Amino acid sequence: MQNVIQFDCAGHSFYCPRDEHTLAVVKEVLSGAAYPVPGFLTGRIRTLIDVGANLGAAAVWFQAVFPNAAIECFEPTERAFRFLEKNTAPYERVRCHHAGLLDESCRRDISIGGTGSETSTLKRSRQADFGVFESAEFREALPEVAPLLETGAPLALKVDTEGCELEILGNLEPVLADIELLMLEYHSEEDRVALDTLVRAHGHMLFAARADQCHIGTAVYVRRAVVEELTEFDGDAIR
């Protein structure tokens, strides 16, 4: 690959486009800062679904902190998927799907954002408004996720899809209550409020959140029943 940076990550090579912003995002994810993980779930999660897997940084981080988990990565864009496959090749428990998840199965034109693909989106965004589009496959989320819950093994879900998070979570509403850990990015204040309302209605509570500016951030939720079973956090609540 041309114009590619290669660096060591836990004894394996990691590759990303030669772009300062992309490299900064990748290193933030690999450090664990982007997705704070509850320590009481690290040995418990058995399946993790990474929607919007991009170059594979989150998958590499997750395989380190969830050593018992099989990781299913979904990435629709061509260039990002090539990096994803290469970066996760050393990890036997990571499987890559060249498709995105959405609220329906379809092919859609996705706007490609700059040198990296972390801002590629189906929505309007000044970060990806470069007039470059790519036809990509999307699968309905529920048929992909529901079978992985049938065993009853604890499952985690990470969704970073540049504005499509609410549509995906809405499609997964029939099984949301069974997902133990949700790691969600949001890209508007309206989506943040709607996502919070949706997941709390299905029995989740906020574990961690981060926002460096208005409209953009990350929220991590854990099923309330799991918090009550495995922690004493409720004793810290002031009511």
pLDDT in tens, 144-159: 999 999 989 999 999 9
| 3-state SS, residue 47 | strand
Residue 178 DSSP code: G
pLDDT on residue 2? 67
pLDDT on residue 21? 83
In single-letter form, the type of residue at position 45 comes to: I
- Has residue 135 got a pLDDT over 80? yes
pLDDT on residue 119? 63
Name the CATH architecture for the domain at 43-236: 3-Layer(aba) Sandwich (3.40)
How many C-beta atoms surround the C-beta of residue 154 within 10 A? Answer: 22
pLDDT on residue 163? 85
Q: What value does the mean pLDDT take over residues 69-94?
A: 95
pLDDT tens readout for residues 158-200: 999 988 999 999 999 999 999 999 999 999 999 999 999 999 9
Q: How far apart are CA 201 and CA 81, in angstroms?
A: 34
Please report, in angstroms and rounded to a whole number, the separation of the first and last CA atoms in the chain: 57
